Copies of this chain bind each other. A is one copy, B any other.
Amino acid sequence: MATYLIRKLEQFTALSRDDKEALERAASVRQRRLGSREDIFHEGDAPGRVNLILDGWACRYKMLEDGRRQIAAFLLPGDLCDLRMFILRQMDHSVGTLSPVTVAEIPKDAVIDLSDNYPRISRALWWTSLVEEAIQREWTTNLGQRDALERMAHLLCEVFVRLRAVGLTAGSSCELPVTQAELADATGLSTVHVNRTIQELRARGLVILRGKTLSIPDLDALQDVALFSANYLHLGRVGREYDANDV
């Protein structure tokens, strides 16, 4: 069940059978099934267990007092919602589902055990944190510098490449279980303008969006429009030096 997490971590380092079993065990202690648009946790909550997305999409978001909402990250299968946040007193943001989701609730002691006793996992989890930070910086750049078309294109590139890394693409297609209103909250645009921007991308033949399915006929072309470079995702098994010695 921790398949996607394992695939993700293997982008950074090979894992031994033992490593993988430890991850599977941690992820199977307790699971929770949520519908669309439910909170996994909410700003102000005290952190508890660590939530791993097994299936479905979620997002980090912040609300302003007057109701404006910013989606600050998409959480895809294999993503951890709150790794290590249990040292804080309160969550400073919320995480909610965008589609039906299955989460594994990993007890914090299990996380500590993984960190202390499985060096490859420990390093790989550090790597996931660094990548998350890099993604967040990229989103800041996206909102600050790119115009609407570039911004939407960039978001779609990122989602596609991240899904591909965990095996959730089929050819040039993937799921995109997100409404235009949610894309608006993620890009800082109005829903009206998101709609027009998507139409423009469609008109240029850069994306095909039907229902909840996204197709990108020419990823290079979309990346060019988006000024997208995947370097910040740090994918592709760079850690040869950390290969499992006992796979």
Q: Which residues from chain A sit less than 8 Å from chain B, CB to CB?
A: 60, 62, 64-66, 68-70, 72-73, 84-85, 87-90, 92-93, 123, 126-127, 129-130, 132-134, 136-141, 143-146, 185-188, 227, 231-232, 234, 238-239
Contact = CB atoms under 8 A, between A and B. Distances in A.
B70 A144 contact: yes
Greatest chain B CB density within 10 A among A85, A145, A146, A187 is at A145
A137 B232 contact: no
A84 B141 CA distance: 22
A54 B93 CA distance: 30
A231 B84 contact: no
Number of copies of this protein chain within its complex: 2
Contact of A64 (B69, B139, B145): B145
A234 B65 contact: no
A66 B140 contact: no
A89 B186 CA distance: 29
Contacts of A68: 145
A70 B123 contact: no
Contacts of A127: 87-88
Contact of A234 (B88, B146, B188, B227): B88
A92 B136 contact: no
19 contacts: A60-B137, A62-B137, A65-B227, A68-B145, A69-B145, A70-B144, A85-B130, A88-B127, A89-B234, A90-B234, A93-B232, A129-B129, A132-B133, A133-B136, A136-B136, A140-B140, A143-B144, A144-B187, A145-B188
A78 to B, nearest CB: 18
Given A65-B227, A144-B187, A145-B188, A88 B136 contact: no
A5 to B, nearest CB: 18
